[in-house]
Structure 1
Amino acid sequence: MADLSYTAFFGDGDHTFQLTKPMIHELEKQCGPVGALSNRLFARNFAQADINETIRLALIGGGIAPKRAHELIVAYVDGRPLIETYELAAKILERALFGNPHGDQASAS
């Protein structure tokens, strides 16, 4: 089975991010089709909600409680420069779309 999770430092420590099927469904309700969202993000033609919701829902899919995921977004995404979280959101979507085809390490620093 493909590894769709991604572990990275975010805010207060290392967290696992994964867009599970239910989280992708929720992301699509918030931001539209995941393919269109990915195209916007990869082309750097995204909305703030694309980044926030991708990270928040991937935290939940990775095992964080919804309330805690919201708190992390408020503390470490809202009001920060977009580039600080753009790369994380892009990596989460990349992993959800393509898995880890080369077996690269699941985490980043």
Structure 2
Amino acid sequence: MNEAITARAWFGDGEHTFTLTDDMIAELERMTGKGIAAIHRQLIELEFSNALLRDIIRLGLIGAGMNPQMAAQICAVYAVNRPMAETFPLAFEIVEARWNGTEGGETAEEVARNVEADWQRFAATHAAETAA
């Protein structure tokens, strides 16, 4: 596992590692029909589907070494019918770890705080645009 692109976060039943390896990115791109840059942009612009969030989390678990069946089971229990305020920050953190790396960067707590702040900022912007 490449620590430079690995995110660590609490998800469902405990702390897990998430890595979007090249193979997992290729699978995500195949599933969505979009490149990783377009997926990253979708997350930033809040133009994503709920299924995309679950797929990022599931593929991140698999990329970090979890058995695919276990990853699917954990996501079915903890990412289905959950508030997007729970799944979005995690999916975004997983993609950001691959996009920007994690070495020499923020602690897990700082990442969580920053992801939450980003989510609040994006949600406020989206709400303002919708109201206009």
Write the distance in 2 (CA, Å) between the matches of 1:101 and 1:63.
Answer: 19
Indicate the structure whose relative CO is greater, using CA pairs within 8 Å and at least 6 residues apart: 1
Shift of 1:70: 0.2
Equivalent residues of 2:7, 2:102 under 8 A apart: no
TM-score when scaled to structure 2? 0.76
For these two proteins, the number of residue pairs brought into alignment is 108
Percent identical: 36
Equivalent residues of 2:18, 2:61 under 8 A apart: yes
Shift of 1:80: 0.8
Q: Which runs of 5+ in 1 are unaligned?
A: none
Amino acid in the other structure paired with 1:70: A
Which structure has the greater CA radius of gyration? 2
2:94 aligned with 1:92, yes or no? yes
CA RMSD of aligned residues (A): 1.6
Write the distance in 2 (CA, Å) between the matches of 1:80 and 1:2.
Answer: 28
Aligned to 1:30: 31
Amino acid in the other structure paired with 1:69: A
2:62 aligned with 1:54, yes or no? no
Amino acid in the other structure paired with 2:7: Y
Aligned to 1:42: 44
Q: Which has the higher helix share?
A: 2
Equivalent residues of 1:41, 1:50 under 8 A apart: no
Q: Which runs of 5+ in 2 are unaligned?
A: 113-132
Pick from 50, 54, 74: which aligns with 1:72?
Answer: 74
Write the distance in 2 (CA, Å) between the matches of 1:78 and 1:65.
Answer: 19
Aligned to 1:14: 15
